[in-house]
Structure 1
């Protein structure tokens, strides 16, 4: 039976997906805008189209399955899901307002886990038993691993490209890389859609299970991926210009060649982790890739002060989201 609370939760989940789109739009378009390959308007249309294309090509939703199992079934209620979504939306909007490229993925997982653990506390049970600690530790590890992998891949790709094109005239090479950057940014946008939309799919799925609309283990209804990919593509079209500025110029100056390297590295990392079912952060991944590109010039080419501030924002995202969700759940419990 479809209840009004279920409708509210599904709507909030899709709103979060929309916010994720404009919050993370910068990941896909920052370099292509900063190198003036496309105008901001053209770039968001390009990214949104490839975000949605993932709906037709990705049918095995391993990331969604991982998110759905973050909190054990016995501790999942509609209040838990609602509190987690409210916390995730609040943190995403706050970081967007201040132009901080934090992780939408980790704020959603942190909120969901924090609400589930608080529910366990009210039940008089050890809160750690409410969550799959192995999954959460693995997700937390990729706060550091995803950008590091992106950094290494981007560094290697840039060195290879520089070696291959060392005898080309700079003007000719730049024109060529501006064309290639259309392909690399499309790949990154596709990978972003395929990875990030799945996280909300997992939340909607557990909400349907909690309300007995479907049974645990049942195939995900087709309308869930369609709605999630549509929401994230629509959000991407709305932009996110404060974060574009941070990603496109504040970390390091990016040329078309370097944009191709960073976007290709980010896409490879996201494709790999999506196949492994690991809900990594697109933000973390592309940031690491941009740093890797900067390091091929010199260590000082990277603005480490900005990078360290971003790292702190990444580290605190999961615990702050969990605390906000815990507070929201407690308020709901006592009302």
Structure 2
């Protein structure tokens, strides 16, 4: 292994932490629709996705090259700059996970890197043409292309299954969903794990442990693949709920169409070296599939919040990255201060998340007041008053037998209260 200084070691560990957050933040991309339609049980789905993310990490290094050699100029970039970039990316990932919004881990990383690089070496440290052609254009094109492809695919699947009874058709497409979800997981590992490989390689070059222009070493590929696989296995249940139930209601035919379309777009971009947001592609595909079924709808209020998060990702991560880089100019004290801030912020976000836990037990719930069976369960507890009782007595009897609400409207019942 190359000579690693203490600071470089901290940067590498932080990069793998980002890779871990990328895994659980983006699990929804591959498995949200599979879980929401019941094609796979939640824990089975994330385990399968984790394994395939690991396999995908070994399939290509083209995206890693875009990060390590193309986005910023290697000359003049110090490990502190990369550390600052990772701080911005990790915090944005955790904040959007907390509120259950699918946002781009890729753009968070690139935004943090651009912000920290500009703060350190000026605007000339960033390759503007690469940012436009391989980041911004794919960011806009990916959800549109995946959405249109998914909408058309959904319509075709319904036409092909028009003469088959719904139960048989749903069963067949659930099997197809499992295969297509596996393809998305493979594509996610191929695309997203490479971003951490690229950032670690850039750090090694900046720290003098690798020659400029080097490809990711084998140990970098292995560690990045393992980190994203572990994060994927833990499951980003909050975002899975949003993508599986919050954007639209999907049937197996739509889930199959969405996942197949998203996987095709992601794999094509990975081959071309585009640093595509898998979140943008998968979210666009889910919305397209929602519109592909007759009578299907997209919940545009949720989609709008998601679009706002997408627009804020690059600048927000860039600002945090730039601020962290500015603080770290003071030397060891600054680096320590940024580290304490990062650890404290992560802990605070985790503690807040414990107030309302979302996990594999309640990931498919649409909300307590909308959940099927609430009315039925409540009515089942009502006993009929004895015959011959007066109206007043009967009224008191009904009041006594109707269970009191476990929560106020809009709140999660205590029994289902998140314990994330």
Q: TM-score, normalised by structure 2?
A: 0.76
Cα distance in structure 1, aligned partners of 2:152 and 2:110:
32
Which residue matches 2:38?
A: 36
Cα distance in structure 1, aligned partners of 2:294 and 2:73:
47
8 Å Cα contact 2:102/2:239 also seen in 1 = yes
Which residue matches 1:133?
A: 128
Question: Could you tell me how far 1:300 is from its partner in structure 2?
Answer: 6.7
Larger displacement relative to structure 2 (46-55 or 5-14): 46-55
Cα distance in structure 2, aligned partners of 1:149 and 1:75:
37
What are the ranges of 5 or more consecutive residues in structure 2 without an aligned counterpart?
335-420
Bigger RCO (CA 8 Å, 6+ sep)? 1
Higher helix residue share = 1
8 Å Cα contact 2:64/2:216 also seen in 1 = no
Aligned positions of 1:308-327 closer than 5 A: 308-327=304-323
SS in 2 for 1:301: coil
Which residue matches 1:75?
A: 76
SS in 1 for 2:187: helix
Larger displacement relative to structure 2 (214-223 or 25-34): 214-223
Which residue matches 2:259?
A: 263
8 Å Cα contact 1:21/1:234 also seen in 2 = yes
Deviations 1:68-97 (A, max 9, x none): 121111231111001001111111111111
Displaced runs of 4 or more, over 4 A? none
Which residue matches 1:90?
A: 91
Deviations 1:126-182 (A, max 9, x none): x32110111112312222211001101111211222222211111110111111111
Cα distance in structure 2, aligned partners of 1:159 and 1:228:
38
Cα distance in structure 1, aligned partners of 2:322 and 2:295:
41
Aligned positions of 1:1-335 closer than 5 A: 1-56=3-58, 58=59, 60-68=60-68, 69-120=70-121, 127-138=122-133, 139-297=135-293, 301-334=297-330, 335=334
8 Å Cα contact 2:65/2:215 also seen in 1 = no
Question: Could you tell me how far 1:18 is from its partner in structure 2?
Answer: 0.5
CA RMSD of aligned residues (A): 1.2
Which residue matches 2:407?
A: none
Q: TM-score, normalised by structure 1?
A: 0.95
Larger displacement relative to structure 2 (210-219 or 233-242): 210-219
